[in-house]
Structures are given as structure tokens and as C-alpha cells.
Amino acid sequence: MILETQNLRKYFGEVHAVDNVNFKVKEEEIVAIIGPNGAGKTTLVNVITGYLKPDGGKIIFMGKDITNASIYERIRAGIVRSFQLVNIFEGLSAFDNIRVAINSRERKEGKIFSLIDRDTTVTKEALQILDLFGLPKDTLARDLPHGDRKLLDVATAFALKPKLLLLDEPTSGVSTREKNKIMDVIIPAARKEKVSLVVIEHDMDIVFNYSDRIVVMHQGKILFEGKPDEVREHTEVKRVLLVG
């Protein structure tokens, strides 16, 4: 088990966004979280990654209690995320977006007198990542088409070499064809790098095709979890997903 939450709680007043959730991720597993809007999927990810403080419960990552760890400590431990809306460094080129992340991972993001272009190892790695995700090098992030912006967001996360990567709707707002293209890049990359992947996703075809295990959330609780086939046949889940 790489990640385990124990009775994790996050309330917004009367709304129990995350209500005693015991969520588990195994090593190198690809888990999809599905559920209607307002089910608490994003809040769960926010609490796990330190964006929000939990109201109760514990988060165990690789055997260590990280419930009260800072965002920085979590990233150093290997928990990395992307956001639902594209969240990239808009004024930097795709290349620099990746290099900033690699520098941070290598803890040389604060070197004042080393020119970024002179660092051949970082440059080489960044080019490989751009190549893997099929991204152009010098285009400013803000000038990329939407699908590429989504990809760059994920690519930056990969550049941090996480152990656990949580992606909040990596394919939102793109065409079905592009969705598959994005997932066809992400999944093999995760397998190759032995990253455990948690994906929040609305598109059921994507979920059933690409995940090892599916967790269904509803009203802040885990309603059901199981293999894609088991979820597909589960009547209660169908009802919740259809009715919302």
C-alpha cells in the first residue's frame, strides 16, 4: 500500500465533502475516482495533497503519517498532483515549464549563478519529456492549444518523478479523440516510471479502458470500489452515476 487514508474527514459547514473515507492506493496501481459532481472527489485529492487541511482522520503515505505535513514535504515525499483547470506557467515556454520542475526535483531551483541553458543533463531530460508527450519546445505555454496545455500540465507533474500522481480530470474540455491521445501518453508513462496513479475522470469509456481499479464516490463517501467489470455491473453505482 503506497497511500492509505483512515477515516479522513473534510466538512464545509453542513456539507460533508469527505466523510470518513478510507481510500487506498497500491504500488504501481492505476485508480480512477468517479462520482457525480459534488461527490467529494476533488476535495479528497485536495486533502491528500495538502491543499486543504483535513478535519479528522489520518493520511498514511509509504508507511508514514503525513496528515499534518506541508505541501512542500508531501512533494518531496513523492506526492504530486495536477489541477482540474489547466495550471501551468503561462509566460514560460513548454521547455522551461518542464525544466523548472526538474530543477525543483533536483533541488537546484534556487541556483542564482548557473545559467539554465548550460545544464545539459536537465536540458536533455526536459527534451525527452517533451518528446514523450509530443509537445513543442519553444512555444509559450499560453499560446499552446488546449489539449497540449493539458498535456503540459501532466508532463510537468511527471517531471517531478512522483511516486504517487493524482490527476484531477486530465482530459476535461478536450475532444474524445484527444482524450484517448492524452491517456495513451499518460498510462504507459506511468507504467514505465512505476508511478501509482489516481485519476479523477468523468468520461466512463476512459475510466473503464484505462484503470486497474475504480472507486465510486457519492456524497463524500466511498460507495463502491472494484475492478472495472465489477463497477460496470453494479446496479447501485449505475443509479448514482445516472441520476447524480
Partner 1 sequence: MISRKGLISIIRKYPIYTLIIIILLTLPIYAPSFFVIQIAYGLIFGITGLAFNLLLGYTGLLSFGHAGFFAFGAYMMSLPIRHTGIVHTLEVYLAFAFITSAALGALLGLICARRTRIFFSILNLSFGLIIYSFFLKFWGFTGGADGTHVPTPPLLGMKFAVDKEYWMTHIYYYYILAAFFICLAIFWVIVNSNFGKTLQAIRDNEIRAQFTGIRIYRYRHIAYIISVAFTGLAGCLWAPLNGHTAPEIAWWTYSGDIVMLTILGGYQYFIGPVIGGLVFNVFKIYTIGYTVYWMLLLGIILLILIFFIPRGLVGLGISIYNRLTHKKGSSKG
Interface residues toward partner 1, by CB under 8 A = 49, 51, 71-72, 75-76, 80-81, 83, 87-92, 96-97, 99-101, 103-105, 108-117, 119, 156, 160
Residue owning grid cell 517531478 = 160
Label residue 177 exposed, middle or buried (CB < 10 Å: 0-12, 13-18, 19+).
Answer: exposed
Name the minimum Å distance from CB 122 to partner 1. 8
Q: Which is nearer to partner 1, 42 or 49 (CB)?
A: 49
Name the minimum Å distance from CB 57 to partner 1. 22
Cell triple for 25: 492506493
CA Rg value for the chain: 18
Q: Which is nearer to partner 1, 44 or 231 (CB)?
A: 44
Name the minimum Å distance from CB 101 to partner 1. 5
Q: Which is nearer to partner 1, 115 or 242 (CB)?
A: 115
Contact of 190 with 132, CB cutoff 8 Å: no
Q: Which is nearer to partner 1, 115 or 243 (CB)?
A: 115
Name the minimum Å distance from CB 161 to partner 1. 11
CA distance 230 to 224: 10
35, 36, 140, 224, 231 from 9: Cα distances, Å:
18, 19, 40, 18, 25
